[in-house]
Amino acid sequence: MRKPVMTAVAFLAVGSLALTGCGQKNQSSGSSSAGASAKAASLPLAQINEKPRDQVKDGGTLRFGISLLPAAWNGLNVENNNVDLNSTIWWYVGVENFMYKADGTPVPNKDFLQSYDVKKASDNGGHQQVTLHLNPNAKWNSGRQIDYTDYVATWKANNGTNPAFKPATTDGFNQVTSITKGDKPTDVVITFKTSYPDWTSPFSVILPKEGASTPAAFNDGWKNFNPNWFAGPFTLDKIDKAQKTLTVKRNDKWWGDKSKLDSVSFKELDDATMTKAFANKEIDVVDTIITKDGYDTAKKRTDGQLREAGSLQWRHFTFNTKSQNLTDIKVRQAIVKGINREAIAKSDLAGLPVDPASVMLGNHFFMPGQVGYQDNAGPDSYNPEQAKKDLDAAGWKLNGSVREKDGKPLTIDYAMLTGVPTSENEGSLLKQNMASIGVKVNLVNTPADSMNDVLTNHSFGIIAFTWQGTPYPMNNVRQIYGAAAEGSNKPSESNYSQLVDPRLEKLIAQIDTEEDPAKRRDLTNQADKIIWDNVMTLPQYQRVQLTAVPANLANYGASTFQASTFKAEDVGYQK
């Protein structure tokens, strides 16, 4: 699931239901167009009304609609790993070491990172070494210079060696052997175990040592916005809990270009209300329009514009492999054969300018049209007759309309996020699909704002939400599908399926370090096939990003890599 803290981590969004993790890329840029049918392979990478700063007005407010206000402010913590914070809000108030070109290529954000040097493992005794040269003017709002000690603290909190820390992912951090001071405190020397191709990913976002040095600070110290722990062109102005609105204002301690906007606000709204509020000019940005009603409503705004691009978001079902009746891999595999993914996509996307057949997804890592993509779902992924035979073979015999084994019915709990159209629709269709093969689905009404708790407590059988990718599709295999740390049998905090496969663990270690891109893609597809076989998550389709904005908004809109192409201080209204 909005843009970005470009870490390896996958983010979770509630209303449109996106978490962030496995990332992908697409291509091309341009200006707006509200119209024709979107084909995933031909969608632009960005439609953002790109303008130089001298063509953007000084002043004004930009009002976002978001799904959920932050319950806490550390987006690297597993319980706060949601898109609204990590992708949308953080961009205005936090450290962003890298900007991303339209194709996802990272380049230093010189407000924070002036340059870097890389010594390859093959030239450095088998250890890749990266030296970051930080901007000496970059300071936390406390006034303290951002330096190597902040990188040490962020690394130790996220590398998995201390189980008391609860990171959203250890990917990348767990490949580092040391972080030391270079010639000066703003030179950060990072040494890796071996080669690590995606080294920019874990070090794109940094926390201050005051908020990351201890488990208590990292896990629980961010419940309120502490301005001293942030550093960005904006800072907190106020939170109106009654109106569910967060406002940030220009940061007078910011050392970079003055922000074009005076302030930016974020209002918590459900999806249906969000597009109505946009049409009524109560808010200015709806970042992910996912229903026909929302699309039609947003088009009613007279000064509005719908911008369209490819997306890193993908809908899926997560299977809790420790849940009752889902522990048997044969049962999970049979259930998948009974799920009509294309029918779900057609239903979810009905009325949107999207061709469902063009966005069906057969890979957990690469997007259609991206180098490395192959459909590992197989041509017979939907085969209800075979599903029935497989359930028979697994000992689940039909008794009336529901299968039984040892006198117990084959039932599955689906966590249905109330008020979230996609979750409700997918639950209803899942129930119908399963009834046709003799499996009973209990639709468990689940408040959308309890989604994080449901996931982290594993109190579900199947749940549907959206993973939002990053520019690093091969970097975070462990986050969603692996162990908490190399050699561990404990699942990663974001591995909600709770399955750890030794075959996958072996491949993850290879993917993390393989320098040859073609070999690395092949290893990732080998991992993908294992994930399909294990039925940890079931991809459905890639989302198209439809963003509603005022027509005169510059440097923001729909973008595969979201707002990362531009700095927050450059967004504003065209002169």
Tens digit of each residue's pLDDT, the chain (575 residues): 223 233 334 444 433 444 444 332 222 222 222 233 344 445 677 889 999 999 999 999 999 999 889 999 999 998 888 878 988 899 999 999 998 876 677 899 999 999 999 999 988 999 999 999 999 999 999 999 999 999 999 999 999 999 999 998 888 899 999 999 999 999 999 999 999 988 998 999 999 999 999 999 999 999 999 999 999 999 999 999 999 999 999 999 999 999 999 999 999 998 889 999 999 999 999 987 888 999 999 999 999 999 988 788 899 999 999 999 999 999 999 999 999 999 999 999 999 988 888 889 999 998 776 778 899 997 778 999 999 999 999 999 999 999 999 999 999 999 999 988 899 999 999 999 999 999 999 999 999 888 889 999 999 999 999 887 667 788 778 889 999 888 999 999 889 999 999 999 999 999 988 888 899 999 999 999 999 999 999 999 988 889 999 999 999 998 876 545 679 999 999 99
Q: What is the Cα–Cα distance from 99 to 45, expressed in whole angstroms?
A: 15
Q: Look at residue 298 and tell me if it is in a domain.
A: no
List strand residue ranges (DSSP E) for 44-167, in order. Answer: 46-47, 61-66, 98-100, 106-108, 113-119, 129-134
- Based on the structure, what is the number of domains in the chain? 1
Q: Look at residue 389 and tell me if it is in a domain.
A: yes
Residue 341, domain extent: 312-543
Q: H helices then E strands: how many in the chain?
A: 14, 26
Q: Look at residue 129 and tell me if it is in a domain.
A: no
Helix ranges restricted to H, 300-458? 329-337, 341-349, 384-393, 421-435, 451-457
Q: Look at residue 460 and tell me if it is in a domain.
A: yes
pTM: 0.74
Q: What are 317's strand-pairing partners?
A: 464, 538
Q: Look at residue 40 and tell me if it is in a domain.
A: no
Tokens of 517: 């891109």
Q: What is the Cα–Cα distance from 170 to 166, expressed in whole angstroms?
A: 10
Q: What are 19's strand-pairing partners?
A: 12, 467
Q: Look at residue 322 and tell me if it is in a domain.
A: yes
CA distances from 283 to 37, 57, 60, 286 (A): 26, 19, 13, 8
Residues 6+ positions from 76 with CB-CB distance below 8 Å? 7, 9, 154, 157, 158, 167, 168, 205, 207, 218
Residue 474, domain CATH:
3.10.105.10
Q: Look at residue 395 and tell me if it is in a domain.
A: yes
Q: Look at residue 375 and tell me if it is in a domain.
A: yes
